[in-house]
Amino acid sequence: MNDELTKITLAFPMRCDRPNRNGTVFTEEAIKHAFASSNPHMPIVVQGGINREELTYFNDRVIGCTDPTYYFDYDDENKVCKVTLTGHIFNMAPDIVINEMHDGKITDFEIRSVSILK
């Protein structure tokens, strides 16, 4: 149904100057530097699996890529850096049920879900 790239916005918090769930502590400057020096069109990946002994990933599937612009909002009270980025999903479309057609055109349909296609 969709023949265009799907634009998305991703926002996620990263703890700053205090341990995250893994016990790792990041500084706000380190987070900003990591994004500023990263690939401007980072792949958006669905991870397949991880070999924890070798710390390698396998069966990953690239489903999109990010745009080169990132936004940062630092919450000093909670020590959280919210990172917001935009990007595109390559093959994303609603899963539809056609209720009615007239003259070869869909005139009524329902959206059951949104799918990321292989």
101 occurs within a structural domain: no
Domain of residue 61 covers 6-91
111 occurs within a structural domain: no
Tally of CA atoms within 13 A in the half-sphere of 10 that contains its CB: 17
113 occurs within a structural domain: no
CA dihedral sign, ordered 117, 88, 41, 30: negative
36 occurs within a structural domain: yes
Number of domains present in the structure of the chain: 1
In three-state secondary structure terms, 17 is coil
The pLDDT profile of the chain, 118 residues, written as one tens digit per residue, is 556 788 999 998 999 999 988 899 999 999 989 988 988 898 888 877 777 676 666 777 888 899 988 899 999 898 999 999 999 988 888 888 999 999 999 999 999 998 877 6
22 occurs within a structural domain: yes
14 occurs within a structural domain: yes
Q: 0.75 exceeded by the pTM?
A: no
